[in-house]
Structure 1
Amino acid sequence: MTETIEDLLRTEAPQVLGALLRRYDDFAAAEDAVQDALIAAAEQWPRDGMPDYPRGWLIQVASRRMLDHLRSEQARRRREEQHPHEPSPEVPDQDDTLVLLFMCCHPALKPTAAIALTLRAVGGLTTAEIAAAYLIPEGTMAQRITRAKLKIKDSGVPFRLPTPAERESRLVAVLHVLYLIFNEGYTSSAGPDLQRHDLSAEAIRLTRALHAVLPDDPEVAGLLALMLLTDARRDARTGEAGELIPLTDQDRTRWDQAQIAEGVDLITATLPRGPLGQYQVQAAINAVHDEAATADETDWPQLLALYGVLRGMTDNPMVALNHAVAFAMVHGPAAALDLLTTLAADKRIANHHRLHAVRAHLLEMAGDNTAAAEAYRIAAGRTASVPENRYLTLRGARLNQHP
């Protein structure tokens, strides 16, 4: 029952926020009111039962919180006098999530701030999870989100789908938001579970909706293909106890062949249209993995070439890290370890557990088990994900037993 309520609250939160924004046009206050309503629901519904109309219940409670806020703010006196008995907003029939998505990605905001705000309002990610995705401290991200709310408020942007011209200017940020929501769902940055299917499923749902609106945009199609091809491996990524199973050891009969076929068809139709974008390249990379019948049949030279193309499109250090892995599979671990030495100078990733995990893997490939075990130990200590910590710890312990 609790899990059902949590899933429902996540789905309804953007709809409730959208209803309040239509009525009150104050992003920061509306989000606070929605959070209060969600907390009240999480406390009351398990005890008293779920209401017949959950969205209406949430909107009513959030609206009361909003009115309380308006009455307590001296700066809102004039508005309160104009609307002394403001009725609750109507319960919308349509899905407001895409509207909210584009609204948060307003050009008045810097791209990083817009993306962070949208991850909070639409994706339901915590500030800590967003900070982890950006490889920055939580306090820094909290300040960005607060400033973004104030800019949305001051900009006076209406709550509606943008015009085609406005949509074009916001699309890059919207796609990146959906990408980050999916990534956090596919591999959670912290907590007891490796994956959060609610997040990855919502990211796929929203990207499908965006693809329906923009069917000819190659990067929208590329992102949808990327998500489908990646999510197809979800069931094989963990064992019965929730333990992490790496790609090379997964039971490929558990991969979702229907999703793989849909993703491959989508990217195959999209690539010739151009222009080429990074989501299309990432989709192509995952298609190569998914189409290999066994790990040994993986076409690593093709993957190395694709990662080379991707590195030319972005300076994301995680892309460079994945490129180093592909390089090792083609040219051997020694040369790839040299690439990691250079990458370690990048402050964005120098302390990230994945850099140390890849170093451990390459050292293990090179036969230096003592150094590999130490690198696994360091990597395990730098992840907040319980399954990743356990996996890395066990890898290191096994090597310590056979130095």
Structure 2
Amino acid sequence: MDQNFSFTIFNSAEALPATWDTIAEQNAFLSRSYLSVLERSAPDNMECHFIGLFKDGTLCGIALAQYINLSRVNTFVEEKRRFSLKDYIFKQFSSHILVIGNNTLTGQNAYLLTDAVPETTALSLLRRSLQQLAREYRKKCVYMNVLAIKDFNREELPDFKAAGFNGYYQFCTQPNMIFSIKENWGNIEDYLADLNTKYRTQYNRARKKSEGIEKKKLSLEEIIEQQDRIHELYLTVAGNASFNTFHLPKDHFGSFKRELKDDFLFYGYFLNGKLIGFNTLIKNGSDMDTYFLGYDDAVQKEKMLYLNMLYDMVSYAIKKGFKHVIFARSAMEIKSSVGAKAEEVYGIIKHTNPLLNAFMAKLFPYFDPKVEWKERSPFR
């Protein structure tokens, strides 16, 4: 590697170089403000690190790394009430994970580069930074089991091989669901006009079911006031997931609203004055990223609340002129029923135990929850 390239690991967002945001302006999820609030309100089992890539002392690339301690969270939800062999094995051999990327999001939010650094050079630096972070944790008697980079596109795979990521297993899990907004849509009526009869009927039925529910954009003060109920609703949804690597702290959404202000949107859904659901959105340039949500299970089924939330997100994004809604992973079938398309995202992973790493191709599919779903085509 060219000797004038180097990397620096920053363990606090406050220590980031002044020029960081000149690169991060392409992606809000790598900005100083976002990384600062993520660091302060991260799940208890997650620690954030920030990597600067330099050429001749000038910043030319930025990246996010996270240490995740899975021994502190119930990973496999399906067997949470009794002894789980899968969970036991997983925690014995894969509890300590170091990943370049953002475990709370879906999509390529791991790194950004300028033209001053070739992709393979940058990835080689990131590989070395992973190893350096692992050594620093070892000094604290924390021994990494797994090293990984998550959520990049198929086209980038050859660059990782060229950058020396030898022995890493390539994987592809649940896709990122992306809703693209057509240029001729100015409002929700234009969207509805493009739906076929079956899915227009689905929309009308969902809207009818939601009668009596009041939707309200919550201020910071209102989020704090409802904090306990919000956390309860969030945990209901998190508890339904087949695989968990973290749980958000109770003050997470208030912290995000305080820091990101109008770029973070929190919508509460009320029935008879009681909060029965919420969803959150983060503005990211021309994209609108859906964030976490929560709901009362009983009300959600009766009122088709989740589907109505999806329609609300679509309506808002169309009205405000966004190009995409990033719906992320999970619930792929219902998201495709409103028009989202699946985009495959890839990752690479390596176990630090050479024997276990040799069997990664067999082990990873065992632990990776398989989700069967049928893609829907709602448009005419």
* Superposition TM-score, scaled by structure 1 size: 0.26
The structure in which a higher percent of residues are strand is 2
Computing the radius of gyration from Cα coordinates, the structure with the larger value is 1
Higher RCO (CA < 8 A, seq sep 6+): 2
* Superposition TM-score, scaled by structure 2 size: 0.27
